[in-house]
Amino acid sequence: MGTLAATLTLSDSTTFSDAINFSVTDSLTTTAPAQGLTIQTITTADNQELVDEGTSGVFYFFARNTDSTNFVILQTEASQQYARLSPGEFCFFPINDGNGLEARADTGSCILEYAYWKKG
């Protein structure tokens, strides 16, 4: 279906004696289905599904919390919490086949920007 080039750069020149500065790039082959860049309001209600666990495949998932105050919790469809995305922060990771992904705002509704692509 298509290829994605995903590049992460981490840098910090002020904290440690040895500055952190590295970059990693991955070339990903994707296939259908994919979810293009989407803006979604995430409320404090539980079980707001972003990726359906019933859709087979490994998905590469990107999300960014556009809110300036509140954080978003990411969890599997079994409500296993594993990440909180603070205001302005983003993440990129693979979602395991059959896990699905849900989001929930902690304190107030947040606008989450997200997209995912199925591994080809």
Partner 1 sequence: MATTTASLAINSPDLQPGNRLTINASSLLMKTGLTEGLDIYDAGTGELTVLMSHKKLHDSLGTTDTSNWMYLANHGTDDTHYIEVGLRDTIIGRLYAGDWMFTPWNMSADTAEWSIEAEGGTQKYEYAFFKSTYVLADSAQGTINP
Interface residue list for partner 1 (CB under 8 A): 1-12, 14-16, 20, 24, 26-28, 30, 34, 36-37, 58, 62, 64, 69, 73-74, 76, 78, 80-97, 99, 115, 117, 119
Residue 114, beta-bridge partner list: 38, 63
Choice between 12 and 52, CB closer to partner 1: 12
Instruction: Give the shortest CB-75-to-partner 1 separation in angstroms.
Output: 9
Q: Output the six-digit token pair for 17.
A: 């004696």
Q: How far is CA 119 from the centre of its chain?
A: 15
HSE toward the beta carbon, residue 43, CA cutoff 13 A: 4
Three-state secondary-structure class, residue 42: strand
Choice between 50 and 73, CB closer to partner 1: 73
Instruction: Give the shortest CB-36-to-partner 1 separation in angstroms.
Output: 7
